Amino acid sequence: MRFRVARPSEGPRSPAGMIVVMPTLTRSEAVERASLVDVEDYHVDLDLTGSGDTFRARTLVRFRARTGAATFLDFDPVEVVSMTLNGAALPPEASTGGRLELTGLAEANELVVDAHMRYSNDGEGLHRYTDPADGHTYLYQHLFINNAGRVLPSFDQPDMKAVFRVSVTAPEQWLVATNGALVSRDGGRWEFAPTKRISTYLASMIAGPYHVVTAEHDGIPLALYARAALAEHLDAQSAELFELTRQSLDRFHEMFRIRYPFGHYQQAFAPEFNFGAMEYPGLVVFRDEMIPRSAVTDSDRERRANVIAHEMAHMWFGDLVTMAWWDDLWLNESFAEYLGSRVTAEATRFTDAWTTFAMQRKAWGLRADQRPSTHPVAPARVGDTEEALLNFDGISYAKGAAVLKQLVAWLGDDAFLAGLNAHFEAHAYGNATLADLLGTLSKASGRDLSGWAELWLRQAQVNTLRTEVTRDGANYAEVAVLQTAPAEHPTLRPHRIGVGLYDRAADGSVVLRERLDVELEAVGRTVLTELAGKPAADLLLLNDGDLTYAKIRLDDDSAAAVPLLLPRLDDSLARAVIWAATLDAVVDGERPVAELVTLVLAALPVESETAVVEDVLRATRGLVDRYAGPESRPAALELLAQAADRLLAAVPPGDSRQLAAARGLIGATIDTARLRGWLAGENVPDGLAVDADLRWLILYRLAVLGVADAAEIDAARERDRSASGEQWAAVCHAARPDAAAKEAAWNAIVGDASLSNRLAERTASGFWQPEQLALLEPYVDRYFAEMPDMLRIRSGMSAEHIASVAYPSVAVSERTRQLAAALIDTPGLNQTLRRVVQDSDDDMRRALVARG
């Protein structure tokens, strides 16, 4: 029996087939289904040898149920060959609209389904990619949140764990890997061992002519996979990757009593992966940009190390013990974010990882927490999977991690780790909730954490801490810390902070005279009695050591001293706290962007931390593009270019900061002759390699400035037939100040369903340029008119990212805000697009305040 499956209208067909948007699963549906069904195992048999846009999936699902009950599985086939429940054929109409409805269940049930499923190009389901470098095809499986039904019929929710047994038939020259260990291979037939009990969103597979490097550590088989075109780069970087993996495993084994629980530890670097990485047990998948082909900075390498440690932390937080529903997402991501930075700092050569966290990750959390879409770290309720997807943001990751860092400082590390180990042992291979974790932490520490959780986890938004200083001559008469909260989120919180007193020594250096360890109660004003009568410091730094999660504001005297003292301050974490506070004050319109640029020119050329250099240049450039008006922006950019140029001249050849400075200079300069000279190999600083990716970055800037035409971009693409070259060419074409180029790019962004997720994202990222506002003016209206159509042909995280980067953020005007308000008020507007527009509009509100 073979039949087509009825489905609702989901938008236009593309050459690659119909875009699949899985139905939203509500929490109430999930609770009811879990009360009726207990899943035992899935046996999935995939045939990947056919031609066309589909693959064949034969699935056996064994589960127990309440006798006589009715339920559904998530399932969206192209064509069903057969479906049987307990030996009886199911009618074709049982499968419709992304679900397979079952009735009259027995106590023990076997569902057998044979169907043709569709490959995807959006990073969800079973994603298929053809490498332009050699024509090879690669697959990876990504079932995240609600996409398991795009590969197999399943009970797709985190609390319905099951054993997965996978068999795959693939072309003989391919390699296949899954969560489970390989049992046998006969030509193109691969059989894998059953997994431990895992959630459906964690079932993983890769297939294709992947290059592999293997190793072993402490009895755990290790493997690295990448496309054949990246084989030489994977081989060259494998020693570092394995070293980071071993160091992280050892540190987690020191902290946790349960050893790594999923057999082998494989890490695959896959093309066009939507996330930075995903924690599939036994087979972690990363985006393959993490196997760079060109020179990278130490900060780039540190970020990769952090991601490796982050995903490994998920083996315990998320995989061994999984949240029961998406309202406890923080149990996955906040802990992995915290432990990723901690393990990177403690176990690898990147000992300043907390500086990077303070500059980059924490700033991400603070920005997300102040937008209209803010939510608690642990929301009381997440209604459905669409809402859950939107919570994968800086709050669930970075804010949650910063809150945990504060909790560890309060409880003590021994009690914290004892509570975590008790949590793992109580819920191994099962599910848990916020209440479960708080219970074990409270028992281990002897402290009731319910009040702490209510303030830090259940309430949204952020506090601001600022110093209020009264002097008696050269001494402090009184120093107080003022804590405030936004009117719409008036929660005050307890904070444990360091207060650093820094003075300038006779030789010009800046020394820490004293650091106070201060406990702030959840009140508006706390007097630091210890400082009364003491000599006033040149710089009084709140949150020295970066223990708490809060916005920091310096007193006027300290703020005035920053340009003189910051370049001479040795403590990188203290510098990060100051930079973060300064940038945030500009974002809030409390300090002008011109003042920030002046500070960058004074302090950045002597900055020793690459992560600080990169983040200051990136954040300042973004603020200049939006906060500086058309009249002042060129001068601000010129100062930013000067700062990068001075750093470039100051650092030793080959220093990691050299590449960071070069990237910053290229992005800010309008000296096209100099950029052309670098492309020709002229006057290139000693030690700087103008390699493939740096050449593309230069060409991108030339395209923005209108001095690189389509023919030059196409010629560069011909010389670089790699995946990276393809993506860079898309960015450069979209960036050109040419009406036809903009029209082609816009149509690709909003209407071309055949374009892969990554190429659509990269095209969108190059489209809006502050230098081209007159040319781009018509597309401001078109964004608000046409972006809803894009959400009909794309879904998931890729759709959210495209909508965000395609937003007209550089068209700073009240009219843009009016268009945003009208779209937000549209009945039935896609929830993802509404959130993107609300948050982007809030950013524009801030830009208008700053310009005013």
Task: Give per-residue pLDDT as tens, 189-205.
Answer: 999 999 999 999 999 99
Q: Identify the pLDDT of residue 570.
A: 94
Write the DSSP symbol of residue 531: G
Q: Which CATH class is domain 313-456?
A: mainly alpha
Domain 463-548+550-571: which CATH number of 1.10.3470, 3.40.50, 2.60.40, 1.20.120: 2.60.40
Element (H, E) at 596: helix 593-603
DSSP of 733-780, one letter per residue?
Answer: HHHSS-HHHHHHHHHHHHH-TTS-HHHHHHHHHHH--GGGHHHHHHHH
- pLDDT attached to residue 21: 73
Q: Give CA–CA dist 295/25, Å, rounded.
A: 44
Do residues 667 and 676 touch, judged by C-beta distance below 8 A? no
Query: Is the pLDDT at 6 greater than 50, yes or no?
Result: no
Which helix (DSSP H) or strand (DSSP E) does residue 88 occupy?
Answer: strand 88-89
Q: Identify the pLDDT of residue 796.
A: 83
Q: Residue 55: pLDDT band by 50, 70, 90 thresholds?
A: very high
Work out the pLDDT band at 10, boundaries 50, 70, 90: very low
Q: How far apart are CA 303 and CA 611, in angstroms?
A: 9
Query: What are the distances in angstroms from CA 832 to CA 390, 788, 793, 802?
Result: 7, 10, 13, 11
CA dist 294 and 728 (Å) reads 14
**Domain 1-209 identical in fold to domain 463-548+550-571:** yes
| DSSP-based three-state secondary structure for 510 | strand
User: Residue 311 catalytic?
Assistant: yes
Domain positions in the chain? 1-209, 313-456, 463-548+550-571
The whole-number average pLDDT for the span 684-696 is: 97
At 22 the pLDDT is 87
Q: Which amino acid is at 53?
A: D
The residue length of the chain stands at 852
Separation between Cα atoms, residue 337 and residue 419, nearest integer Å: 18
Between the two ends of the chain, the Cα-to-Cα distance in Å is 69
Residue 11, pLDDT score: 36
pLDDT tens sequence across 102-140? 999 999 999 999 999 999 999 999 999 999 999 999 999
What is the model's pLDDT at position 795? Answer: 83
Residue 392's pLDDT band, with cuts at 50, 70 and 90, is very high
pLDDT of residue 19: 56
The mean per-residue pLDDT over the stretch 272-283 comes to 96
524 pLDDT band (50/70/90 cuts)?
very high
Query: Is the pLDDT confidence value at 18 over 70?
Result: no
Q: How far apart are CA 740 and CA 728, in angstroms?
A: 19
Identify the pLDDT of residue 460. 97
Q: Which residues contact 486 (CB under 8 A, 6 or more apart)?
A: 370, 461
Choose among 640, 554, 648: nearest CA to 602.
640
State yes or no: pLDDT of 750 exceeds 80: yes
Render pLDDT for 565-575 as a digit per residue (tens, 0 to 9): 999 999 999 99
The CA distance from 375 to 460, in Å, is 5
Q: Which of 124, 272, 302, 311 is an active site residue?
A: 311
Q: Residue 427 contacts by C-beta under 8 Å, 6 or more apart in sequence?
A: 321, 436
At 852 the pLDDT is 85
562's CB contacts (< 8 A; 6+ apart) are 539, 554, 578, 582, 599
In three-state form (DSSP H/G/I as H, E/B as E, the rest C), the secondary structure along 778-823 is HHHHHHHHHHHHHHHHCCHHHHHHHHHHCCCCCCCCHHHHHHHHHH
Band the pLDDT of 15: cuts 50, 70, 90.
very low
User: 212: helix, coil or strand?
Assistant: strand
Average pLDDT value over all residues in the chain:
95
User: What is the per-residue pLDDT across 466-512, written as a single tens digit (0 to 9) for each?
Assistant: 999 999 999 999 999 999 999 999 999 999 999 999 999 999 999 99
Helix (H, G, I), strand (E, B) or coil at 262: coil
DSSP state of 569: B
Please tell me the pTM assigned to this model. 0.95
The domain made up of 1-209 has a fold known as Immunoglobulin-like (2.60.40)
Question: Is 50 exceeded by the pLDDT of residue 13?
Answer: no
| 207-231 mean pLDDT | 98
Angle between the N-to-C axes of helices 739-751 and 757-767, in degrees from 0 to 180, rounded to the nearest 10 = 140
For residue 810, pLDDT over 50 is answered with yes
Nearest to 731 by CA among 751, 754, 702: 702
pLDDT-derived band at 20, boundaries 50, 70, 90 = low
Q: Which tokens belong to 792?
A: 């009909």
Give ∠ CA 640-646-650 in degrees, rounded to 5.
145
